[in-house]
Amino acid sequence: MIPRIDAQALLDAAHLDHDAAKTLVATAATDIGFMTVHNTPIDPAFVADAIEHYRAFFKLPAATKQKYDMAQTGSNRGWGAPGSEQVDPNANPDYKQVFDIGSILPDGAPDSAKGLLTYAPNVWPDAPDGFADALRSYYYKSTEFALDLLCAIADAVGEDADYFRNQFTYPMSLVRGNFYPERPEWASERDFGIATHTDYGCLTLLATDGTPGLEVRKRGGGWIPVTAPIGEFVINFGEMLEFWTGGKVVATPHRVIGTDDERISIPLFFNPNHDANVAPKGKPPISAGAHLEQRYKETYVHLQKAS
C-alpha cells in the first residue's frame, strides 16, 4: 500500500492529526519512497486546467510541435518528440511525448546560474491560447507547495528543515507535461511509456489525469500500481535527496508501460539551487548542478548525441 497523506495535517503544526501525518510520511519516505497527498492548497480545477492546456498542445499536428522541438533548441526546454528520452540504457527510448518548462530564475539569483543548461530559457508555444500563462502559474504554485512539502518531510525524517529551505532559493525545477498515447501495437518488451528509472532531484510532485499507468518497484521485487485523481498528487524522491540524507530517504524506481487509454501526467521535478552541496555531512561534496546536468546529458537523446 502506498501511504495516503492529508497535506493540511502535515503542513499545519497545530492540526490535530499533525503527528500522525508526520509519522506516516517518515515511513513512506524511508520505506517505499512513494506517497500520495490529498487536501492540498492547490485547487483541483487549477490542475485540470493545466492538464487541458498540455492536452491541447499535444493534440497539435507534429509539424506545429516541431517548431518547439528541444532537439532544435539544443537545451531541454520545449517539446520532446516520441523517442526523445531514454531513461534506461537497457530499454529503447520512451514512446511518450513531453513538454518541458524549466526554472524561472528569480531576481537576485547569482550570475553563476545564468547560462547553465539547468537554467536554460523557456520556449513558449503560440498555441494553444493561454498556455504560457497557465503553465507559468502552475510552475509557481507547484514549486511553492513542493518546498513546503519537502521541508515538512525533512523535518519528519529528522533533518533540519530550515537548512533545506535555504537551498531552494533559485531551484533548478522542471515542470513537464507527459503525454502517453495508447500503447503502440509495435511496442516490444523494451518499449515503455517511460522505462524504469529513478528521478534525479529531491522531490517529485506528480499530477495525473487519473488514468492508471504508473507502477512503483517494491523493495522485495514486483510492482505496485499507483493512481491519483485530479487534485491529489503522487510524491516520490530523487537521487539527490537519497545522497543528501545518506540513504535515509529512498529514490524508488518506477515506470509506465502504457495501456489502451491515453494518459497525461505533470511532474514537477523539484531540485535545489545549482550550487547546493547534496553530499551527506562529512562526505566529499556533490554539486546539485553537476549531477542534474550529467543526468540530463545521459537521458535526453539529443544531448546524448551532443556530448
Ligand X SMILES: O=C(O)CCC(=O)C(=O)O
Phi first, then psi: what are they for 125, rounded to 5°?
-75, 155
Q: Count the residues of the shown chain that bind Fe ion, applying the rule CB under 5 A.
A: 1
Binding status of residue 194 toward ligand X by CB under 6 A: yes
Phi first, then psi: what are they for 124, rounded to 5°?
-110, 125
Residue closer to ligand X, measured from CB, 155 or 232: 232
Residue closer to Fe ion, measured from CB, 159 or 199: 199
Q: Count the residues of the shown chain that bind ligand X, applying the rule CB under 6 A.
A: 12
* CA proximity to 38, closest of 298, 232, 290: 232
Q: Going along 70-125, which residue ranges are E strands?
A: 78-80, 97-102
Name the segment binding Fe ion (CB under 5 A); options: 40-48, 161-169, 195-203, 212-220.
195-203
Helices (H), 66-130: 70-73
Residue closer to Fe ion, measured from CB, 100 or 199: 199
120-179 binders of ligand X (CB under 6 A): 176, 178
- Pairing label, strands 97-102, 174-180: antiparallel
Residue closer to Fe ion, measured from CB, 214 or 276: 214
Kindly tell me which residue out of 85, 159, 199, 209 binds Fe ion, with binding defined by CB under 5 A.
199
Yes or no: say if 112 and 274 are a contact pair by the CB < 8 Å rule: yes
245-264 binders of ligand X (CB under 6 A): 254, 256
In angstroms, give the least distance from the CB of 135 to ligand X: 16
For 184-209, what is the HEC assignment? Answer: CCCCCCCCCCEEEECCCCCEEEEEEC
Name the segment binding ligand X (CB under 6 A); options: 144-152, 208-216, 243-251, 283-291.
208-216
Yes or no: say if 143 and 103 are a contact pair by the CB < 8 Å rule: no
Kindly tell me which residue out of 267, 276, 289, 292 binds ligand X, with binding defined by CB under 6 A.
267
In angstroms, give the least distance from the CB of 256 to ligand X: 5
Cβ neighbours of residue 187 closer than 8 Å, sequence gap 6 or more? 95, 258
Cβ neighbours of residue 166 closer than 8 Å, sequence gap 6 or more? none
Residue closer to ligand X, measured from CB, 40 or 265: 265
Residue closer to ligand X, measured from CB, 6 or 209: 209
Residues that bind Fe ion (CB under 5 A): 199
Residues that bind ligand X (CB under 6 A): 176, 178, 194, 199, 206, 208, 213-214, 254, 256, 265, 267
